[in-house]
């Protein structure tokens, strides 16, 4: 058994009757979570699905799903992430493309006919997570056994195939090695006062868990909370009302959410006294506007500590501490913080790959014992600047991805769907700045010869049926021709200028 598995199982059994996770006003105990883990493990073993087997999980923010996540990793199975917020047709197509030997999910998702039909067509085992302490795991009707003959059954040494962003077909995933994921969680414990070899114990305090489990931030927060032995308040999603209520009731010292949440809290004029317990607010998953951080600090006197990470690194790479915030309030403004201990960073020229001096902008590369082979530099798609004090500034994405309130939107994914519309000849997507979300996608398109131009709302409805909500462009603009560079590529600056001109 791994060190992380020992730690998780140890925490679950310190005091099984103690409260562990609160959700929708109800507490679940550590013993109840352990019961779900045991029932799921027994059901999988009975089906002959032991260690190293891929288990697709529809990851809603729910205590039963949390227990399934913890148990699958602790029992050395590979969690294949499924995003239940996908439209039915997209989620069904994802299951059929992945062809896992088993799919796990809540009753609400198994009630979706297209999802159930996709599992039936795949021939996988279906397991339903049910809010019944006596029988929390049951087979889905018609999916009691593994019947498929060409299923993708195993991924030895992989803890999670982590969903990064949706596409028009199967969402993209990055396999996180068990050793990488485990080391990232254990390393994070150093910042929580845990030392290697410390026995599992329950700690005071409640951690607010609002990041979706279908993304690395949600998974990392859950494992960090449980391995620390802290109670968690699990929210279905971030809302100002739900978040402020959780902080007011549980009085945590630190909370975290994407930068867009800061703007939402400010715009809602949440009472200062409701957030008075917070000594710091951690912001990640998207670029943080320093002016927004300053405004939040001026209103609530709460330092905003940005951090930076990536799915393929299983969590954080750089981040601010309160000590750094107090020591460098001005000279490091706009930084995502200092590169974390145990991680080496450098900046290289995007074309030549040559290392650049401190203070020069280029592509960020990282090296750590839990990344890759532990010896080679791993290149990110982020443009960055590193200074001699190991503070890091992220300047943008080399792959042109749009980060909308913490969610990654790949322009090519949106373009592909737009160009499926029978009246659209060609489309292009660009990022526009947004005060609340950081960036939002906007799309320009041309009409096929002989086709009538569809109404904007018709196009928007077409996109909503095929994309996740955060992928749908906030602005749609019909043009006679898309602006191009001399090499005939669509010119992003000229495209942005078209939207600016249309808005003026």
What CATH number is given to the structural domain containing 257?
3.40.50.12780
The pLDDT value recorded for residue 407 is 87
The total number of residues shown for the chain amounts to 504
From 122, 134, 124, 107, select the one nearest 48 (Cα to Cα): 124
Alpha-carbon span 199 to 130, nearest angstrom: 32
The pLDDT value recorded for residue 426 is 87
Domain count for the chain, please give it: 3
- Out of 347, 377, 397, pick the residue that ends a domain: 397
Phi-psi region of 159 (alpha: psi -120 to 50; beta: other; left: phi over 0): alpha
Query: Are 433 and 439 within 8 A, CB to CB?
Result: yes
The pLDDT value recorded for residue 190 is 52
Both 263 and 319 in one domain: the answer is yes
- Out of 134, 158, 177, pick the residue that ends a domain: 177
From 221, 224, 253, 223, select the one nearest 235 (Cα to Cα): 221
Mean pLDDT per block of 10 residues along the chain (504 residues) reads 84 97 97 98 97 97 98 96 90 95 98 97 98 95 95 94 52 80 76 70 94 88 93 94 97 90 90 97 83 94 91 79 94 94 91 93 88 83 92 84 85 89 92 90 91 94 94 95 70 89 83
Alpha-carbon span 46 to 113, nearest angstrom: 26
Alpha-carbon span 181 to 4, nearest angstrom: 9
Both 393 and 407 in one domain: the answer is no
Both 393 and 411 in one domain: the answer is no
The pLDDT value recorded for residue 169 is 31
Both 361 and 445 in one domain: the answer is no
Is the C-alpha dihedral spanning 4, 5, 6, 10 positive or negative?
A: positive
The residues, any chain, with a CB within 8 Å of residue 232's CB and separated by 6 or more, are 20, 21, 22, 66, 206, 207, 208, 209, 222, 225, 226
Query: Are 168 and 416 within 8 A, CB to CB?
Result: yes
Instruction: Find the DSSP H helices in 168-317.
Output: 178-190, 216-227, 240-250, 259-267, 290-300
Both 276 and 422 in one domain: the answer is no
Q: Please measure the distance between the N-terminal and C-terminal CA atoms of the chain and give it in whole angstroms.
A: 62
The 10 Å Cβ neighbour count of residue 399 is 12
Both 219 and 95 in one domain: the answer is no
Both 211 and 130 in one domain: the answer is no
Both 473 and 418 in one domain: the answer is yes
The pLDDT value recorded for residue 289 is 83
Query: Are 159 and 177 within 8 A, CB to CB?
Result: yes
- Out of 397, 426, 446, pick the residue that ends a domain: 397
Both 61 and 133 in one domain: the answer is yes
What CATH number is given to the structural domain containing 472?
3.30.300.30
**318 lies in which domain range?**
182-397
Both 237 and 377 in one domain: the answer is yes
Both 476 and 491 in one domain: the answer is yes
pTM as predicted: 0.80
Which tokens belong to 334?
């706009």
**Angle (deg, nearest 10), helices 178-190 and 3-12:** 60
Both 133 and 216 in one domain: the answer is no
């Amino acid at each position: 058994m791994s060190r992380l598995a020992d730690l998780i199982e140890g925490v679950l059994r310190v005091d099984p009757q103690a409260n562990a996770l609160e959700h929708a006003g109800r507490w679940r105990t550590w013993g109840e979570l352990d019961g779900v883990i045991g029932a799921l493990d027994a059901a999988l073993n009975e089906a002959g699905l032991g260690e190293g087997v891929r288990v697709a999980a529809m990851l809603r923010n729910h205590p039963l799903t949390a227990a399934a996540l913890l148990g699958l990793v602790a029992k050395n199975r590979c969690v294949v992430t499924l995003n239940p917020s996908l439209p039915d047709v997209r989620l069904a197509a994802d299951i059929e493309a992945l062809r896992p030997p088993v799919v796990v999910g809540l009753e609400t998702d198994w009630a979706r006919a297209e999802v159930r039909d996709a599992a039936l067509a795949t021939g996988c085992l279906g397991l339903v997570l049910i809010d019944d302490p006596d029988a929390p795991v049951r087979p889905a009707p018609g999916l009691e056994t593994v019947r498929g003959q060409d299923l993708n059954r195993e991924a030895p040494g992989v803890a999670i195939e982590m969903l990064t962003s949706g596409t028009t077909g199967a969402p993209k995933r990055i396999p996180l090695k068990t050793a990488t994921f485990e080391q990232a969680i254990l390393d994070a414990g150093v910042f929580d006062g845990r030392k290697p070899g410390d026995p599992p114990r329950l700690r005071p305090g409640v951690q607010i868990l609002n990041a979706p489990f279908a993304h690395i931030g949600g998974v990392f927060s859950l494992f960090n909370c449980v391995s620390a032995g802290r109670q968690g308040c699990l929210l279905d999603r971030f809302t100002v009302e739900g978040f402020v209520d959780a902080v007011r009731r549980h009085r945590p010292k630190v909370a975290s959410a994407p930068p867009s949440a800061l703007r939402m809290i400010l715009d809602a004029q949440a009472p200062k006294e409701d957030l008075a317990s917070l000594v710091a607010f951690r912001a990640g998953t998207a670029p943080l506007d320093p002016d927004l951080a300053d405004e939040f600090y001026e209103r609530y006197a709460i330092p905003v500590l940005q951090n930076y990470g990536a799915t393929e690194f299983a969590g954080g790479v750089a981040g601010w501490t309160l000590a750094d915030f107090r020591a460098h309030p001005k000279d490091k403004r706009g930084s995502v913080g200092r590169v974390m201990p145990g991680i080496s960073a450098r900046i290289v020229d995007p074309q030549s790959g040559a290392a650049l001096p401190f203070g020069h902008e280029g592509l960020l590369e990282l090296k750590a014992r839990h990344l890759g082979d532990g010896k080679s530099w791993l290149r990110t798609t982020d443009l960055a600047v590193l200074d001699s004090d190991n503070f890091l500034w992220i300047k943008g994405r080399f792959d042109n991805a749009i980060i909308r309130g913490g969610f990654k939107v790949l322009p090519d994914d949106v373009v592909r769907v737009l160009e499926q519309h029978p009246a659209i000849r060609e489309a292009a997507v660009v990022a526009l700045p947004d005060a609340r979300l950081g960036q939002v996608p906007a799309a320009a398109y041309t009409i096929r010869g002989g086709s009538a131009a569809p109404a904007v709302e018709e196009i928007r409805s077409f996109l909503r049926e095929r994309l996740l909500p955060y992928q749908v462009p906030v602005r749609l603009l019909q043009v006679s021709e898309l602006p191009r560079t001399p090499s005939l590529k669509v010119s992003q600056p000229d495209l942005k200028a078209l939207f600016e001109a249309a808005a003026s």
